[in-house]
Amino acid sequence: MMGMTARRSLVLLGVGALIGALVIYVVVRWGTESTHPGGDPNGTVFKRMEAIEHAVPSGATIIHTRTSEAQWVPGCAEISDSHSGWSKASVYVTFSDSDPQATVDIQIDRSLRSSGWSYAPMRITKGQGLVPHWVISSLSEDRPIDAFAFVTPEGSNSWLLSASWQPPGPIGQGCP
């Protein structure tokens, strides 16, 4: 049978270990959050990006949304010159719409423009036609949010509407 002193020592040891773990967690968490410049404090930009869901035409079906907030990613030891930094924030909305492509483009364009987006079509690859592209201020150091809409694959009724933003600060080049 364990004596009163031994029991008390074990309880104190357990409480001490718990307090120690809590202190380490707080120090590590605070240090991680406070040492990385940039990012998206309070998710302000990300919330603005998520609003592209409202641009999906009302007749669309099979709507799926996938999101990824900006995160601090460590460099990758296996890749030379890789360094820690911020990943891009992104929102991807896929949907089906049987209306003609031009009609869907117009509906998306009207919705985004009415929310403050500016239309700025662009050519992504050489030899490709212009792709519908919009930009809006991210409210952060002159780094706009980009949005694209296109049929994928060409000739189908499947659409991708996306928004992406690279936070200020170092750009992460983590492991794939």
- Could you read off the pLDDT of 25-82 as tens digits, one per residue? 544 444 444 467 678 888 889 999 999 999 999 999 999 999 999 999 998 888 888 8
- Report d(CA 48, CA 52) in Å as an integer: 8
Q: Which residues contact 93 (CB under 8 A, 6 or more apart)?
A: 52, 53, 56, 63, 64, 65, 160, 161, 162
- The percent of residues above 70 in pLDDT, for the chain, comes to 78
Domain boundaries, the chain: 1-35, 41-165
Q: What tens digit of pLDDT does each residue of 147-175 get?
A: 999 999 988 999 999 999 999 888 888 78
pTM higher than 0.85:
no
